Amino acid sequence: MSRGFRPDSVLTVPSIQIAQLSTCHDRRAFDCGAPELDNFLVRYASRNARKGLSVTYVATAPGRPAVHGFYSLSAGEMVRADLPDDEARRLARYPVPVVRLGRLATHLDVRGEGIGALLLIDALRKALRLADELGTYAVELDAKSSSARSFYEKYGFKALADDKLHLYIPIQTIRRLFRP
Amino acid sequence: MDASHKVIQQHKTTELTVRDWERFNDILTDASEPNKELKTALREHESRVST
């Protein structure tokens, strides 16, 4: 994950383009160090988009096909576990719509160039647009590791109590970021 | 429920424990201001990213 932002002069990819994954993009050489994420990009990302399960966006150098990073977005909802009747009456139980940020990853070759953070901001911007159109309370994600969790917490995501890799940021916070 | 509907339903619904449901609601109710790192990342995005 990103260590922060370096001066432009030392970046191998100073400017990037982020677009929805298409056949123009070269995914075969993508290597983020986690084979399941590489495999998702190569084998399942397009298939999931066709099925309506998730949409994947990729970062490339402008006009170049090689993928330097990607993330996926999908709709989700949170529900509370079933409870005995007396407890169920105490707590509200209604599904809460969320935008699910899945599988954000960057190529090992550009690690430390801030591309993970750029992808994250891009995802939050898209989530806010979706919230304006259909109503959404938060962006949620499942961090794959404690280091991934630290990356998201650095940007203000908060973890749950029982599942500490399950993280959220409220749409209200995102709205204040883009529309202060 | 047919198989494809079941797959989509499992994909999109997350069931939380009571404690996490309360924590989740606290996070939503007490939405914090975007932090310094997020604001820096936004500025970086504006200068480096085209769509």
Predicted confidence at residue B35, as pLDDT, reads: 97
Out of A6-15, A77-86, A90-99, A162-171, which region has the weakest mean confidence (pLDDT)?
Answer: A77-86
Measured distance CA(A144)–CA(A99) in Å, rounded: 18
Closest CA to A124 of B49, B12, B5: B49
Residue pLDDT, tens place only, A81-125: 765 555 555 546 678 889 999 889 999 999 999 999 999 999 999
Token code pair at residue A86: 């007396």
Q: What is the pLDDT of residues B8-29, one digit of tens each?
A: 555 578 888 888 888 888 888 8
Query: CB–CB of B44 and A5 under 8 A?
Result: yes
**Residue A77, strand partner residues:** A97, B13
pLDDT of residue B31: 85
CA-nearest residue of chain A to B40? A5
Which of A11, A141, A155, A168 is the mutation pick for testing B, counting most B CBs within 10 A? A155
**Paired tokens of A103:** 């599988």
Chains A, B: CB pairs < 8 Å: 133
pLDDT for residue A36: 93
Mean pLDDT of the residues in chain A:
88
The whole-number pLDDT of residue A3 equals 47
B45 CB neighbours in chain A (<8 A) are: 117-118, 121-122
pLDDT, position A177: 97
Task: Tell me, yes or no, if A57 is annotated catalytic.
Answer: no
Q: Which tens digit of pLDDT belongs to each residue from A141-163?
A: 999 999 999 999 999 999 888 78
Residue A162 has what pLDDT? 78
B interface toward A at CB cutoff 8 Å? 8, 11-25, 27-28, 31-35, 37-42, 44-45, 48-51
The 3-state secondary structure of A66-113 reads ECCEEEEEEEEEEEECCCCHHHHHHCCCCCEEEEEEEEEEECHHHCCC
- The pLDDT of residue A44: 94
Residues of B in contact with A177 (CB under 8 A): 34, 38-39, 42
